[in-house]
């Protein structure tokens, strides 16, 4: 059994990204991202500060615009439009979840797709499905990068994606399909789920249910990519897969923490920097 840790690939990518940012700055390009954070969600607050710290490490300017919880949809909409039209702003992120009273769909559609660092605008999913990706959601891209780093075979393999969210499950299923896998996409209404997961050569899980996938749901030759981020009853950070018992059975597995999560931020800034490189060469 092999544990698919992301640390080595994260370290490699950081070196490459730092050098790319240095080269951009030599050409007068100063990468600048604005993150909009509405309210006081503790997890979002922590995550936004983690991204800011990582951006600083790379030499990228990332500013957090903290708006009060009572901010309404129109106010937030106009703030995004302001950022869209600010030529000094290269990238925009909206921390999720937004407060319940805000129209999430309107806000997502308001973001300029070209500045959308998290690829939450539906245009990106449409582009991915038509084989002309503009930006790929960072978590699915991180999962693929992790599989590639550990030299996973894709062509002809049976891939099962558990979870169908627009930001993880659906784009990851499409990426696996483009890698020539035969893909099954499962969700809450899927019947006989365990029968399907046991057929998987590559099993990816993103459902937000702590330790949901157990050893009896996998086959010994499977590679399991756990994308879940949860806290169990003891307050311990765990994934959607019961790690110890599944790890004892399968060929390979990504841990939580230390798997897809750290690589997600790397993919965010990797795509952002590559966009700036392309634009600077036009």
CA–chain centroid gap for 3, Å, is 20
- What CATH number was assigned to the domain covering residues 28-113? 3.40.50.10860
pLDDT band for position 133 (50/70/90)?
Answer: confident
Level-2 CATH architecture, domain 138-259: 3-Layer(aba) Sandwich (3.40)
For the record, the structure tokens of 132 come out as 């002309």
The reply to whether 138-259 shares the fold of 28-113 is: yes
Q: Is the peptide bond before 89 cis (omega within 30 degrees of 0)?
A: no
Q: Binding site residues, as ranges?
A: 163-165, 229
Segment 262-273, tens digit of pLDDT: 999 999 999 999
pLDDT band for position 105 (50/70/90)?
Answer: very high
In DSSP terms, which residues pair with 33 in a beta bridge? 62, 91
pLDDT band for position 131 (50/70/90)?
Answer: confident
Q: Which stretch of 26-40, 122-136, 212-226 has the lowest confidence by average pLDDT?
A: 122-136
* H-state helical runs in 111-230: 122-129, 138-149, 169-178, 193-197
Q: What is the pTM of this model?
A: 0.94
Segment 32-87, tens digit of pLDDT: 999 999 999 887 888 888 899 999 999 999 999 999 999 999 999 999 999 999 99
Short-list 56, 73, 106, 123, CA closest to 265:
56
**What are the sequence ranges of the domains in the chain?**
28-113, 138-259
Residue 119 has what pLDDT? 96
Q: Binding site residues for NADP(+), as ranges?
A: 163-165, 229
Residue 231 has what pLDDT? 86
């Amino acid at each position: 059994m092999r544990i698919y840790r992301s640390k080595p690939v994260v370290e490699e990518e950081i070196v490459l990204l730092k050098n790319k940012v240095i080269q951009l700055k030599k050409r007068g390009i100063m990468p600048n991202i604005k993150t909009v954070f509405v309210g006081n969600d503790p997890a979002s607050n922590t995550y936004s500060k983690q991204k800011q710290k990582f951006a600083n490490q790379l030499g990228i300017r990332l500013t957090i615009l903290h708006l009060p919880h009572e901010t309404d949809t129109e106010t937030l909409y106009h703030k995004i439009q302001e950022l869209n039209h600010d030529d000094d702003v290269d990238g925009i992120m909206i921390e999720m979840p937004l407060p319940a009273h805000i129209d999430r769909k309107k806000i997502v559609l308001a973001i300029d797709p070209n500045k959308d660092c998290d690829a939450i605008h539906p245009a990106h999913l449409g582009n991915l499905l038509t084989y002309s990706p503009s930006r790929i959601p960072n978590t699915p891209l991180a999962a693929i990068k992790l599989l590639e780093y550990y030299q996973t075979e894709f062509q002809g393999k049976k891939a099962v994606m558990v979870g169908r969210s627009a930001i993880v499950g659906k784009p990851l299923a499409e990426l696996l399909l483009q890698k020539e896998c035969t893909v099954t996409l499962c969700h809450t209404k899927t019947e006989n789920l365990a029968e399907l997961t046991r057929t998987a050569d590559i099993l990816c899980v993103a459902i937000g249910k702590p330790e949901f996938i157990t050893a009896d749901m996998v086959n010994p030759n499977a590679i399991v990519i756990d994308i879940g981020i949860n806290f169990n009853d003891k307050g311990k950070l765990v994934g959607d897969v019961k790690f110890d018992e599944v790890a004892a059975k399968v060929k390979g597995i990504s841990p939580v923490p230390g798997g897809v999560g750290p690589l997600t931020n790397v993919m965010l800034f990797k795509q952002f920097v590559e966009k700036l490189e392309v634009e600077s060469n036009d």
